[in-house]
Structure 1
Amino acid sequence: MTSTKLTIHVQGTSGMSQEHTVVLGERVVRQYKIPSGVNATLQFGTSKQQVKVVSASHLDGLRIGESLARKLGLHHGIQVGFRYKASGRTMTIGPLIGVMVSRMYPGSPDRPFGAITAFCKELVDACQTFGAFVYFFTADDISGGHSHIEGWTYAGRWRQSDFPIPDVVYNRLTTRKLENKPSVQHFMKEVKSRYGTAVFNEKYLNKTDVFDALKQDSALARHLPESHLFKNFAMLKAMSARHPVLFLKPITGSLGKGIIRISRTSNQSYTCQFTSLNGTIKQTFSSIDAVFAAIAGKLKQRRYQIQQGLTLIEAGGRPVDFRALVQRGPAGAWGVTSVVARTAGSNHFVSNLARGGTLSRVKEALLKTSLSAAQQRTVSLQLRKVALDIAKGIETHVKGHFGELGVDLAVDTSGKVWLLEVNSKPSKNDGTPLADGTIRPSVKLTVQYARYLAGF
């Protein structure tokens, strides 16, 4: 079914002969062969309104009355997609995209979504460019019956309105606690089953589940460091005998929190490093038994993944790894949007920006390493290929619908590319300054993928 983009014109009730009369530009009427003066269904998200269609030669777009616009949450001047199904005389505008965010700050009208406000405004601008409508809501905005959602959109300023259930929900909840709330889980399940709403990035990924799933693919397995759900001291002892460096990572952790690095030294003692906001805490132990005794308390508090440590390439004496953003695009296929290098901050062994890490271009970072020029060229190509293969592997082997993935990769001193972890909620607040009106390719792809999901 083909679609086109048109402008919504909202007119005062006095200017419309009837509340549910809509005026459609003659160009669109001719294009879709829509009969004028007859009743039809106007669909926006899950809302269906019976309207009378009138054509106008001078109009470029769709004119509706204030009352109907209020009922749908529409405002004057927005650009939306339009399609028509003759068999049911149904005009569909949209797609309507709902973005579920973690929190709302009503006392900050200029930054209602905190650090991701700029990203939210970018999504609004991208929707205007491609023809779509987006609103934002939190877990607290979900009504019990799920017939509508009270959300926020931008119309010269951030405004709150009632909206229909959207065609597409983009899950940007950034804590597992919020995502696992019974009300949120029920909402996502109900809108999918009852309304056919597409929900993407619907869940956080678990490190153990990801590695166990990807091991099934022999082509991917060679990029996976040895990794297991931590069970007991015997596993720690066996892994430490096989690998001089180990990492213990919380399986549901993020931002480098709670990671423990264990290194075997030349005299068979062990060094433990723990992440902290101020840097790294380092302790030395005479045996692996002593290491376990020191960290056993932490290991009882949460579940950890034990992973083979790698000898990473370094830039200026600091470890470097890479974050690839892999997204689905306008035809639903995976593609690599960007790859950036992340160099660990001083006194840190992880490269997360939250731990003092810095971003740079891949080429710039590789030039500072010990890799040869030929290795650097090969690594640049391999990073993109492996990231794409990992995303396709997640789609094949991990249950869930994902539209974007942050794939963290490492390169060892021989030039081999390894997977560190996969993040289904890549950060949207890295602080990158943008000129007014600039829309990043990643944001454009998000809207294009939502249009694809909704059939526009």
Structure 2
Amino acid sequence: MITRNERRNAQTVGIMVCPKAGEPPFAEKDYYRRLTGIGRKLGLDVFVFFPHRLDWDRNRVVGYAYAAASKRWEKGFFPFPDAVYDRCFYSNPGVYAAYREPIRRLMASSGTRFLGYGLKGKWNVHQMMMRDEALKPHVPETELLEHKDDIVRWLDEKGELFLKPHGGSQGKGVLHLAETPDGFIAKGRTYRNETVRLQFRSKSRMLAWIGQFTSGRKYLIQRYLTLTTEGGDAFDIRALVQKNRKGCWELTGMAVRQGAPGSVTSNLHGGGHAEETVPFLRDRYGPTQAAAIAATAHDIALRVPEVLEQYHGRLAELGVDLGIDAEGKVWVLEANSKPGRSAFASLSDERVRLASIRNPMLYAKFMLDSRSERLGRL
């Protein structure tokens, strides 16, 4: 292991990740490599580190830095970062529990600032959005699943529902449940991202299977919205909103995500693909309504982070998932504080792709310079 000396007066940004098998032991390597290059141009030393490898006695962390000369990641010791870009994805509650305390301690450290704080879960986000009169009409009816009788009640009243885990991403663990003349049908994806489609003749068997499927996890029941193309493929709009070089929210870009045939979600990890937003909307709704939908989606996407910050605290970026029904109404489906960028990777707009990567470093530079100016005035 190499020992890395801190450059005098250098501002440091640590990308905090959960370890993963391999070398180097983390995902999104290409994204972090590009962040490192952008940071270097801004005068920032950028490295990747792990929340369970914090040395409080020496005020240093174990991590990796990308060496442009050798084109490889080099392991070493680094000072506690001035700013933290949180990209920790917790595979299960046990992993989160293991890292919770060191992360809290780092957040409380006077020398380190987090660009943003990760959102706690879908139910928390839903409750915050429902407190805003502008967003409330665009949020689907949702409640916390507390008992199997809740499912029975929803099916009796509405005939179908959508089950989604309180914590989770990439469309894993979601179910569309509907009552049919022959019983019940469940369609969705397992936590291994495998497609599931089952029919049940009896209510008791259906409820028993759902109990096993949810396996003690916290779940939400949500009104099922028909958000599909004419061919029945699920789609939504991923809007990426980020703070920029001035610390202000901006809409970086939007992309349509269309799910694989038969999928109940549009997530790309489930076999979907991305399309340009405006041409897609024009083909489906016509030019006039498409323009109105795009304008509404733009306004809602920028409203969501403003509302969430009022109740949650600082955020740096959000992936806001928006559904568009057959009538053209825009619905807020989810907000993710650690968004991916795969929806923009295959699109033609290089400006959006570059901005989606550049903005976290521009905001980090703004935050660190603002703090230096405040300290200089003391």
- Partners of 2:198 and 2:106 in 1: CA distance: 51
Offset of 1:417 from its aligned partner? 0.5
| Residues 359, 71 of structure 1: alpha-carbon distance in 2 compared, 3 angstrom cutoff | closer
* Gap change, CA 1:288 and 1:420, over 3 Å in 2: farther
Contact between 1:98 and 1:168, CA under 8 Å: does it hold in 2?
A: yes
Give the C-alpha shift of residue 146 in structure 1: 6.0
Equivalent residue for 1:12?
none
How far has the Cα of 1:348 moved from its partner?
1.2
Partner of 2:63: 151
Q: Residues of 2 paired with 1:389 and 1:181: CA distance?
A: 32
Q: Distance in 2 between matches of 1:317 and 1:203?
A: 34
Structure 1 range deviating more: 235-244 or 346-355: 235-244
Structure 2 residue 163 is the aligned partner of structure 1 residue 248: yes
Q: Secondary structure at the match of 2:169?
A: coil
Q: 1:430 to 1:221 in 2, by over 3 A?
A: closer
Superposed displacement of residue 129, structure 1: 2.5
Length, aligned pairs only: 361
Change (3 A) 1:386 1:154: same
Give yes or no for contact 2:255–2:344 (8 Å, CA) kept in 1.
no
Write the letter of the residue equivalent to 2:103. M
Judged with a 3 Å threshold, the aligned counterparts in structure 2 of structure 1 residues 389 and 311 are, in CA distance, closer, same or farther, namely same
Q: Which has the higher helix share?
A: 2
The equivalent residue for 2:251 is: 336
Give the superposition deviation at 1:135. Answer: 1.0
Q: Secondary structure at the match of 1:407?
A: strand
1:130 maps to a residue whose letter is L
> Contact (CA 8 Å) 2:51, 2:102: kept in 1 or not?
no
Q: After TM superposition, give the deviation of residue 72 of structure 1 in Å.
A: 3.1
State the 1:376 CA deviation. Answer: 1.0
Residue 101 (str. 1) matches residue 17 (str. 2): yes
Match of 2:82 in 1: 167
| Preserved CA contact (<8 Å) 1:315 1:365 | no
Letter in structure 2 aligned against 1:422 = A
Residue 251 of structure 1 deviates from its aligned partner by: 0.8
Matched, 1:378 2:292: yes
Contact kept, 8 Å, 2:236 with 2:321, in 1: the verdict is: yes
Q: For 1:15-164, list aligned pairs within 5 A.
A: 72-74=5-7, 93-103=9-19, 108=23, 112=24, 115-145=27-57, 147-155=59-67, 156-157=69-70, 158-164=73-79
Q: Over aligned residues, Cα RMSD in angstroms? A: 2.9
Of residues 427, 438, 447, the one that matches 2:361 is: 447
The answer as to whether partners of 1:99 and 1:171 remain within 8 angstroms in 2 is yes
Where do residues 356-435 of structure 1 align in structure 2 (5 Å cutoff)? Answer: 356-369=271-284, 371-397=285-311, 399-428=312-341, 432=345
* Cα offset, 1:386, TM superposition: 0.9
Q: Deviations over 1:420-444 (max 9, x none)?
A: 111122125669379xx99721121
Q: Secondary structure at the match of 2:36?
A: helix
Q: Is the 8 A contact 2:238 2:343 kept in 1?
A: no
CA shift in 2, pair 1:285/1:193, >3 Å: closer
Q: Which amino acid aligns with 1:93?
A: N
Q: CA deviation at 1:94?
A: 3.3
| Alignment match, 1:226 | 141
Counterpart in the other structure of 1:39: none
Contact kept, 8 Å, 1:146 with 1:165, in 2: the verdict is no
In structure 1, the partner of 2:375 is none
Report deviation, 1:367. 3.6
Aligned 8 A contact 2:83 2:114 in 1: yes
- Whether contact under 8 Å (1:150, 1:162) holds in the other structure is yes
Residues 254-293 of structure 1: CA distance to partner in whole angstroms, max 9, x if unpaired? 111111111244x484322132468643333456565324
Give TM-score scaled by structure 2 length: 0.85
**Counterpart for residue 236 of structure 2:** 321
Query: Which residue, out of 106, 114, 131, partners 1:216?
Result: 131
Q: For residues 433 and 113 of structure 1, do their structure 2 counterparts lie closer, same or farther at Cα, with a shift above 3 Å needed? A: farther
Cα displacement (A) at 1:243: 2.8
Between the aligned residues of both structures, percent identity stands at: 28
Residues 321-350 of structure 1 deviation map (CA, whole Å, 9 limit, x = unaligned): 111111111222211111110101022111
For 2:345, what is the secondary structure of its paired residue?
Answer: coil
SS of 1:219's equivalent in the other structure is coil
Closer/same/farther in 2, CA of residues 217 and 407 from structure 1, 3 Å limit: same
Residue 174 (structure 1) shift = 1.2
Within 1, Cα distance between the matches of 2:247 and 2:255?
23
- Code of the aligned partner of 1:129: K
Instruction: Supply the AA of the counterpart residue of 2:104.
Output: K
**Cα pair distance change 1:431/1:451, threshold 3 Å:** closer
Which residue number corresponds to residue 117 of structure 2?
Answer: 202
TM-score when scaled to structure 1? 0.72
Which of 1 and 2 has greater Rg?
1
- Answer yes or no: is the 8 Å Cα contact 2:241–2:249 preserved in 1: yes
8 Å CA contact 2:256–2:277 kept in 1: the answer is yes
Q: Distance in 2 between matches of 1:413 and 1:102?
A: 40
* Alignment check: 8 A CA contact 2:240 2:252 kept: yes
CA contact (8 A) 1:409 1:420 kept: yes
Cα 1:394–1:316 shift into 2, 3 Å:
same
Q: Distance in 2 between matches of 1:430 and 1:153?
A: 27
Deviation at 1:362, TM superposition (A): 0.7
Contact 1:116 1:429 in 2 (8 A): no
Specify whether residues 287 and 146 from structure 1 end up closer, same or farther in structure 2 by C-alpha distance, changes over 3 A only: farther
Distance 1:211 1:377, change over 3 A: same
SS of corresponding position for 1:351: coil
Aligned amino acid, residue 136 of structure 2: A
The answer to whether the Cα contact below 8 Å between 2:233 and 2:262 also exists between their aligned partners in 1 is no
Distance 1:193 1:281 in 2: 43
1:450 & 1:328 partners in 2: Cα distance?
9
